[in-house]
Structure 1
């Protein structure tokens, strides 16, 4: 197979020159793909020993540490890489993601904010949604709402984003706005009665009991066991 050939040549290259960082990285990549993480890590570290600023070795060292949940070690690798390649989008993403994983939401916000800055990826909906999630976890509803709305603008089919915005408007007692989002979710996920139940709940809270009752009856007729 192509993989076996790649592994064979990677072995030959390392044997030919143990002080070739590229050869060490290629062999490490083969081991990484086989999920032999500790051995891959040794080769990436060896490559860095040969060539201290070998970008691929540092990046893959970060990834392998992340794969075995050594998040602090992974963070060190990506921080080093950020000093070599300042504000590279892939590195910023890894730094933000790792800070989120180790429970440093404010630091994660810093990295992800750099990632959606005007000169980087200002319209990346996944990162905008992550920022919304992080601000919500820090009880900053205004910023959470801002980023979830931005995410919705570029990703209007994501149910997590839509659900957050719908619930946000329910909390604000802006039920007509909430209904728009829950109806949108019902269009996307038609088989799930949850969204129409949310719409009915909004109508009930607005005092529109007939409209709420009609939705409840429609749901019961379609799914009598629910």
Structure 2
């Protein structure tokens, strides 16, 4: 008899628990979304605005505020944001108090190609359209097509990771034969790079030349610095 009462009590407890869980779920699903909060990684919202992100989060033709929480499919919202041309990655979440949060990482351009329809090359070596909200201060590139993005990307990536070169180089030009030249900021000379290969060796030679020329105060005397020759820098004076 005692065993029978034990099972009865356990069964009743189970029913109460299921009722409370169902009630809580129903009550939570009936709640509406209170607000949408958009955050940009590193605080930068240069290429896309919070208003644009809000519009991308519209569901059923209406803003999220006031809609029931149960309609949300967070993965679908993330996919929608990720598909935007200016967004690298997005994370969408829902808080217990009914706030939809979106953390957005924007794409980072490394260079701007001066073509009939200009475009950026981003940090992953991919095509990136220009933004109507902001123009990035990156090296200008001419003579390069979309088909040659993979060719020029290693150079852009190398320049971006080097403190001196990132500050100094403002222009990149590709000749028809595939040779490249660089335009430095302020300085009057041109840098002949040649093919995009042996970059570490070429720029190590360039930095050694640059430091020596600074000490000699001879930088203004040069009109071209040629890095195409192994183990040396050939400077042409004015």
- Which band: TM-score by shorter chain? under 0.3
Please identify which structure carries the higher helix content: 1
Scaled by the length of structure 1, the TM-score of the pair is 0.25
